[in-house]
Each structure stands twice: as structure tokens, then as C-alpha cells.
Amino acid sequence: MIQMRMAFALRLVDDFTGQCIRKKGFLFSVEGRVIHPVEKDEGLYLFMEPQESVTRVRIESTDYHSCSVLIEKKQLNPDEPVADVRLYGKPGRGHPYPHEYLTGKIESSRTAFPAEVYAARTRPTGLIFREYRKGPDGEWIFFQGFTKENLIGKPFMAGSGSETARFIPMEKRGINEYRIEPVGTFPAKLKEGAPITRIYRSVTDGAGAYAIPVDPGEEQLIEEVMVLHI
């Protein structure tokens, strides 16, 4: 029997809920070659062993916006080489969770479309930023405050302007200590006491129009949608 050593795996995640995607209906390809996913209890996986250090995977779906992702093997944990690929849901596809859509259009001559966009939730989390640490066990944020909300897997932000931190809590340790995955580089001078805010994300079409999934009611309250510059 021939055994193949797995170089890495891709795991699909719904960006709105932070949960692994379990349903099928995806087409995966690398350089035009179709790759078939493996359905496991926790979600859909792609198991790959490419020869190159960087691999581009094309993902197409009827329920999620299509995308291409670059995977660098050296950036993955060698003990658990699994890369999460976060996907943005398309409107009108019957996603099984309560949500509405914030719709509109970005009017900008300086932005190339399609572009990633985000909006801040108006309802506060009740948390503020205390401290950021980076060490051999990853990047960690310490909060102050209390919330019953499950933060794991969902995108958040803190700060403003050039000192805006965007991140995804991946693991909780202690009361208000979270291992995070930064979206871009974590700012060096994020002010202590900055509110932690839930954000919603999606991608525009070629003309700048967007439909961002949000918690019910937020589509009536959010007044600003921003282009995600990393």
C-alpha cells in the first residue's frame, strides 16, 4: 500500500458565524486541476501535498463568494498544518442562521473592485482592550469587562485610524485572555481602554455593490461601510 504524507489541509469557515462549513457544493482547483474535499464531523477539508512552497487554491461555490487563496506552508504550524479559509456568504442562499443583509455601494475612484468591506456592529460587546502579547505560543489579547457572547471565530476590531487592530479570537484561556489571528499587522500603539467591537465582512461585486450579512436589526442601524485595507 502506498502512503502519502500530507503537507497541509484547508478547513472552510463561515466568516459570519466563525463556524466550520459542513455542507458541500464547492469546486476546488489548483492550476486547473480539480481537487475533491473530504467531509469530516467538524467540516469540509482539502488534504494536499504540493511540491511548491506556495500554493494557490481556487474555491467556487453557489452559496459563498468565490475566491483564490495563497497558502504558504512555512506559515503553518508543522504539528498541525491546517489553514482556515474564511468565506463570505452570498445573499439569498438560505444560510441556516439568523441574519439580515446590509446593502449598498462603495463610491470610490481610488478603490479597485471587487474589494473586501466591513462594518462595525452598533451593539457594544462590553469589553475593552487591556494588553497584547506575542510569544512562542502565538499572539494573545487581554480584555477587561464581561460578555456572554461567544467570541471564538468571529472578526472584531479595536482602535481607530492607523492604530486599528482587526483580529479573530481563536482560543480562550482564563477569563478574558484570547489567542488571536490578526487581520494584517497588529498595531504597536493600540490604546489601552479601546472598545472591542464586532465587525461584519463581505466582498463587493465589480461595481462596488455589497450585501454584508449582519445580526437582525443592525441593517437599520449601521451607517458606515469601509473598505478593508491591510
194-217 burial: b if 16+ Cβ within 10 Å, else e: bebbbbbbbbbeeebebbbbbbee
Residue 93 lies in a domain: no
Residue 200: its pLDDT value, please?
98
Residue 33 lies in a domain: yes
Contacts of 223 (CB under 8 A, 6+ apart): none
Q: Is residue 2 part of a domain?
A: no
Distance CA 201, CA 82 (A): 23
Is 186 contained in some domain?
A: yes
| Chain position carrying cell 469540509 | 44
| pTM value surpassing 0.85 | yes
Residues 149 and 164 in one domain: yes
Residues 106 and 206 in one domain: yes
Q: Based on the structure, what is the number of domains in the chain?
A: 3
Give me the domain span that covers residue 65.
8-87
Residue 66 lies in a domain: yes
Say yes or no: 82 and 173 in one domain.
no
Identify whether residues 178 and 208 lie together within a single domain. no
User: 126-162 burial, b if ≥16 CB within 10 A, otherwise e?
Assistant: ebbbbebeeeeeebbbebeeeeeeebebbbbbbbeee
Give 10-residue mean pLDDT values along the chain (230 residues). 57 92 82 82 72 82 90 76 88 81 92 94 97 93 94 96 93 93 91 96 95 96 88
Whether residues 172 and 144 fall in one domain: yes
CATH code (residue 71): 2.60.40.1120
